[in-house]
Chains A and B, each alone.
Chain A
Amino acid sequence: MPTDKSTNPTPTENIALAQAKASVVTTRSIPRWVFPVAAAVIFLVLAPMGAAASLGIVTTLTAILFYVIVAQGWNLLGGYGGYLNFGAAIFVGSGAYMAAWLNDSFDWPVWATLIPGGIAAVVVSIVIGYATLRLRSHYFAIFTLVLTFLALTVVKNTPALGGAIGLFVRVDRGLDSRQIGMLFFYLMFGLAILATVVAYLVENSNFGYALRAISEDEPAAQVLGVKTVSVKLRALVLGAALGGIAGSAWAFWTGYIEPTGAFSVKIALDIVLVCVIGGLGSWLGPLIGSFIVVGLEQILRVTLPGLDLFGFELPAETNRLILGVILIVFALFIRRGVIGLLKKRRGRAIAV
């Protein structure tokens, strides 16, 4: 994996970054400080919920926070860099399986598996990135989609990972369900804050500008001195690490993982939706998108079974059908998501 030794950008890179900055300047109709304050308020309101809210609400909020972590990671390459990854489940699944395996074979507790889970996802991401990130973004997108299925096949045929049956993951037995709910809420809460801070720092760094330059016009960015492959690979690896860490916490939280659940396109769809609805390439987007997507899924789950269409009861897939339609609608009409509605864009400053 290529790394650059110097922290100071070279003169060419400076020009490139200045160009990139010029191309992504946005004139906000809302003052700049509103967004960090909004995020802080969201987290401050959430903070007492783990202890105060009912168990059902805590479970929903934990799911939202899980999506925040994975989506912030996904957004680095997918949102800022424009390289869509339809295999978010690969990183979540690698982390989850690493954690489950460590727990199953060596009885490791949840806190000890977070780092190994992240490392597992990082290793997988380096292999994927090395093979595909030199190419155009379509290859990366198709490859990640296809690899989800490959990962599923491999895990299904690996007896050490439980094969098609899966693995049980045991949390400390001494805790009751309320305490376990709290434990995972605050674990995900901490990780979500971490992921959001990472995304915020990336957005406002040269690394973030380089990623957006790649998204705008990759050959131009390369000509101007951005080390595109290295930048993309770093974004992928950082995102995968967050996905893997979230995945290992998720494995303990659900208590049982099996290949079709861990490597499902459902996870990938949810993550893509979270970022698209919230706003691609914005650190606040995944935070808002997670609430919208999980809230929407909860509403659909509650209301759909009650409805019927011309006398037929609606099957469970209606849920996914509606999410798919929403994705198409956002891609066609609301490309920059909810955050994009709040920001006004000045338009592209350079066209190379």
Chain B
Amino acid sequence: MNIDTIVQAFANGLLLGGVYGGLAIGLSLILGVLRIVNIAHSVIIIFAGLLYWQLVTGFGLDPLAMILPVVALAYLFGLVVHRGMAQQLAREDNSTVMLAFFGLLVVLESIAVMIWTTDTRTVALGYLANVIELGPISVPLTRVVAALITVGVLVGLHFFLTRTLTGSAIRGLSQNPDVASMVGIDVTRLSRRVFAAGIAFAAFGGVVLAMTQSFNPQEHYRWLAWAFLVVILGGLGSALRTLIAGLIVGVIETMVGIFIPFQYTYLVLYGILAVALLVRSEGLSGAKQRII
């Protein structure tokens, strides 16, 4: 093994990690602000990926222009789910909420399989399918584009949450909804928008995933594990920390991939997930105090 292999793996890891940050941010936002454990997160990722595949590969539309319609549709879907389901459960205990979202997971997965079958899909990206040579390493253009868009979106979200009035309101909501409503924030409306934004970010994660990897409607649990791992490592609510945690996971995955066969890299990451759970055992309650 030479130094080039390692540099190549590191570069691949960073690009992959950018995508992982995108996969996790929707989960982190909904969990951090609304305290809802969206276990249907990964199925929304896959649903958006399949929709993107349909538009780009199926209908031959432009791969960059199609990101926005998919994300916008997901936002609308998020508004509907919040109105019809999440809002009704706002005062219920966690297990009831999770049961409902498990039902949503099953429903969306069934619809995805009904429409697109269980085949593994790869998006054909036309003009994005080039490879860039940078000295000793070569990287696919799509991965660079996907990682750059994700970094842009996450940094943008970070500044939105820390520098704008709406961002302050969202942070207030995450700290204490009751006090937030006392100071004049329309909690229901803001919650609905944050929830829809979380679903839209999940869909965005699905799009960047579809740009960079093959995916299968029935194997989305893997992406749930990855998103969950990134959220645990990064803590809740901070877009920048989510991005960094995503990069770390990506680099670990590709570095481990140098040494051991492909199918066992998953086991290593699941091991890290177990260790992360044990070490960061303050869990949500500890992370909750950290402001967005």
Contacts and interface: CB of A to CB of B under 8 A. Distances in A.
A132 B275 CA distance: 10
Interface string B85-128: 10011001111111110111111011101100000000000000
B114 A317 contact: yes
Contacts of A331: 89, 96-97, 99-100, 103
A60 to B, nearest CB: 23
A293 interface: no
A320 B105 CA distance: 11
Interface stretch (A116-124, A139-147, A167-175, A297-305): A139-147
Contact of A317 (B110, B278, B283): B110
A272 B99 contact: yes
B105 to A, nearest CB: 8
Interface in B51-94: 85, 88-89, 92-94
Choose among A150, A154, A276, A318 the residue with the greatest number of B CB atoms under 10 Å from its CB.
A150
B89 A332 contact: yes
B85 A146 contact: no
Interface stretch (B7-15, B146-154, B182-190, B263-271): B263-271
Interface stretch (B129-137, B192-200, B218-226): B218-226
Nearest to B104: A328
Nearest to A127: B274
B114 A318 contact: yes
Contact of B98 (A138, A150, A318, A332): A138
B103 A325 contact: yes
Interface residues of B, number: 45
A150 B99 contact: no
B85 A328 contact: yes
Given A318-B110, A331-B96, A335-B96, A157 B263 contact: yes
Interface string A110-141: 00000000000000000000011011111101
B285 interface: yes
Contact of A153 (B31, B114, B263): B263
B224 A137 contact: no
Given A323-B106, A324-B107, A141 B266 contact: no
Nearest to A138: B37
A141 B37 contact: yes
A56 interface: no
A84 B93 CA distance: 12
Contacts of B93: 82
Contacts of A148: 221
A321 B104 CA distance: 9
A178 B274 CA distance: 47
Contacts of B211: none
Contact of A82 (B89, B95, B104, B270): B95
Contacts of A327: 99-100, 102-103, 106
Contact of A321 (B39, B96, B110, B278): B110
A131 B278 contact: yes
A84 B99 contact: yes
B107 A131 contact: no
Choose among A86, A149, A323 the residue with the greatest number of B CB atoms under 10 Å from its CB.
A149
Contact of A143 (B222, B277, B285): B277
A269 interface: yes
Contacts of B95: 82-84, 137, 141, 215
Interface in A325-339: 325-328, 330-332, 335
A149 B221 contact: yes
B214 to A, nearest CB: 16
Interface string A81-95: 011101000000000
B281 interface: yes
B103 A136 contact: no
B94 A321 contact: no
Contacts of A269: 102, 106
Contacts of A153: 263, 266-267
Contacts of A84: 95, 98-99, 102
A86 B106 contact: no
B284 A138 contact: yes
A321 B277 contact: no
Contacts of B219: 149
Given A136-B94, A145-B221, 15 more contacts: A84-B95, A84-B99, A143-B277, A145-B224, A150-B266, A153-B263, A157-B263, A265-B106, A315-B114, A317-B113, A318-B114, A320-B109, A321-B107, A321-B111, A324-B104
14 contacts: A86-B39, A137-B98, A138-B94, A150-B267, A153-B266, A215-B95, A315-B113, A318-B114, A320-B109, A321-B107, A321-B110, A331-B89, A331-B96, A331-B99
